[in-house]
Amino acid sequence: MHVIHTQNELIKTLKVLSNIAFVPTMGNLHEGHIKLIQEALKKTKHIVVSIFINPLQFNSKEDFKNYPRTLEKDLSMLKELDVPFVFVPSEEDILDPLQTIEIHLPRIANDLCGKFRPGHFNGVATIVCKLFTLIQPDIAFFGKKDFQQLFLIKALVKQLNYPIEIVEIDTVRDHDGLAKSSRNNLLSHEHRKKAPQLLHQLNAMKEKVIQKTSLFEEIEAHAVRTLNASGWTVDYLSIRSAQSLENPVHDENQIVILGAATLGSVRLIDNIEFCIHD
């Protein structure tokens, strides 16, 4: 396994390779990341996994400081998976000291998670573009747990004409349904037991949407009240079009319900995607 720390070394190493697959991460790897890597390994032997905790996508210095850092364990895991290339740049190497240029994203980037984390997706998109430019992958793998992020990256690749195939991988869940996330490690024992309530509410909302017994606004409001009453602080629980992330039109069939809520000091996100059949 070749661990690369600078962009110059990365470019020199990869320029002789073709059919490159890319899996971007912020480290603290879990089963969700492993699934992405395993799917990439089915496509090509030239795989690059990046580990970079992107300061541009954090709204809070405290959140950035507390993000789990487990580089030694991550590298050991990647070695066991036979990942050939790992890119671990320093902040100084990947970010310009000024960094005044950012990607202008569509309006939907300021809704849902973007409403509660201003500038978050601009920060994500800026680093993703940098990594795409440096690595020049043919294919890149992203998880569906970050549905809004995936939606925006697909739009970015299409509209900026990146010759990259984006592969979407289903959310990997724990035994009780909690979506795998690096932030799960920050949950207290009691909060970890309560964490599956988020998915439970999303599923309850799904059933009401399918039954068509209530207005979407009423379904959302009831779910928010239920989670808040259970000790959560809900940012949003929202029923959207899976195609546009806008509010569904009356005959919409492809639906995604997205949620973000904080338990203790840990913010969790999740979503479920489904079709309404007449």
Q: Whose CA is closest to 179, among 189, 169, 188? A: 169
- Strand 233-241's sheet: what is its strand order? 233-241, 254-263, 266-275
Q: How far is it, in rounded angstroms, from Cα 40 to Cα 47?
A: 7
Which residue bears the tokens 């309006």? Answer: 107
Q: Whose CA is closest to 117, among 198, 60, 179, 193? A: 60
Identify the DSSP state of 50.
E
Q: How far is it, in rounded angstroms, from Cα 37 to Cα 49?
A: 8
* Catalytic choice (33, 46, 200, 250): 33
| Adjacent-strand bridge partners of 3 | 86
Q: How far is it, in rounded angstroms, from Cα 89 to Cα 109?
A: 27
Q: Reduced to 3 states, what is the DSSP secondary structure of residue 53?
A: coil
Residue 213 burial (CB count, 10 A) = 10
- Strand 165-169's sheet: what is its strand order? 2-4, 85-87, 46-51, 20-25, 139-143, 165-169
Is position 33 annotated as part of the catalytic site? yes
Q: Which residues are catalytic?
A: 33
